Amino acid sequence: MSDRRCWLEVDLGRLRENYRILRGRCRPGCTLIGVVKANAYGMGAPAVARALTEEGCAMLSTADLAEALELRRAGIRAPILLLGPIGPEGVEEACREDIVVPVVDLENGRRLETEAARLGLRLRTHIKVDVGLTRLGIPVPSREEAAAREVEAIAALPHLTSEGLMTHISGVMDPALDYRNVEQMELFLRFGRRLEEKGLRLKMHCESSLLYLSHPEYQMDYVRLTSALLGIQPGGEKLGLGCVAQLKTRLLQIKRIPAGTSVGYWMTFTAPQDMVIGVVGVGYGDGLIRSLCGGAPMLVRGRRTTVVGKLSMSFAVVDLTHIPEAAVGDTVTVFGRDGEEAVSVQEYAALYGGHACEVVTMLKESIHKIYLP
């Protein structure tokens, strides 16, 4: 372990605590779905799923069947809701493995029905509608009655057990445009009432982390969360949520360089004065952004420093001029905490105008992970 060039520390105790805090905000009857798609945003889906289900999380979610089957192979037994649709070829496995699938339109529903009928199985489904994100699902805006009839037709298919009605909200971050999120959630509620008037009551869900933190009043029957559970959703700190992930590397070599020395590929950095620099073992090959050249923070001995020159594939160079006690072998924090200092994933993301979820999800699956209990 001490020989690793870089590694990701995933604090499962922190994840469990975040789960308990978020679960505590759910109203009675609301179920928290732990979304672990994309390898749980790079944290390792099986480990995250196991910690969540041990805390009592009753349902998980993945993007597709392959991700869900990976959890089954890891021994995770909780029901799994897929976020994306499957074709007929996935029906048998979904039924056998207790995987709940979204139906994104009547044609998708009919194809699943035909296959489930042929196999003599029943498939658990949630019907997915689109209230303005314009991604998956039956479009609702300005065709509410037609959309309602389509949902009814799907719910009537005898080999599909239609349990839920789901949508996904645009998640506009700008507070001045938050009313657009509210409009979509209100449209979804109104649509649910229209179905209820026709005698169809489905369990409803629309909220991901951003909306659940800002509008707990729209939580309905389920909420689907990842970034809040991982402690990387802005605003989560107010509830006591903490970041689960820390990316660490090691100081591999230290050298003194005279003023005027260029550092790194393309000679984009020239030392303005005599400097001490350190080479650390992390780079864009590990999933960091190459354009984060000069300026990206790192922590050494509890102090902030910055990357100088271009990030390379497996290595980067940091300024150690102001940290004379730094020594080869020291742990270096890319994001996370070191003593009093911390670099948040959000701060990291802001350096290139990205989102915290991207920063962690882009980390390579091959990065060694250390799970703290």
Ligand X SMILES: *Cc1c(COP(=O)(O)O)cnc(C)c1O
Residues that bind ligand X in the complex, under the rule CB under 6 A: 35, 37, 83, 168, 208-210, 224-228, 357
Residues 6 or more apart whose Cβ sits within 8 Å of residue 305: 297, 298, 299, 318, 319, 320, 322, 323
Cβ closer to ligand X: 83 or 157? 83
Task: Considering the complex, state which of residue 227 and residue 305 has its C-beta at the smaller distance from ligand X.
Answer: 227
CA–CA dist 126, 192 (Å, integer)? 13
CB of 224 to ligand X, least distance (A): 4
Question: Please, which residue, 39 or 333, has the CB nearer to ligand X?
Answer: 39
Active site residue 265: yes
Least distance from ligand X to the Cβ atom of residue 259, Å = 46
- Token pair recorded at residue 92: 């048998």
- Taking the least distance from each CB to ligand X, the nearer of 8 and 35 is 35
User: Nearest-CA neighbor of 79 among 40, 106, 52?
Assistant: 52
DSSP secondary structure code for residue 27 in this structure: P
Residue 37 is among the residues annotated as catalytic for this protein: yes
Could you say which DSSP state residue 207 is in? B
In the complex, minimum distance from the CB of residue 244 to ligand X, in angstroms, rounded to a whole number: 12
Single out the residue of 322, 337, 332 nearest to residue 280, CA to CA.
Answer: 332
3-state secondary structure 69-134: HHHHHCCCCCCEEECCCCCHHHHHHHHHCCEEEEECCHHHHHHHHHHHHHHCCCEEEEEEEECCCC
Min dist CB 159 to ligand X, Å, is 25
Active-site residue, from 37, 128, 248, 310: 37
Based on CB atoms, which residue is closest to ligand X, 53 or 261? Answer: 53
In sequence order, what are the beta bridge partners of 147? none
Shortest Å distance, C-beta 166 to ligand X: 8
The answer to whether residues 351 and 334 touch, using CB atoms and an 8 Å cutoff, is no
Catalytically active residues are 37, 265
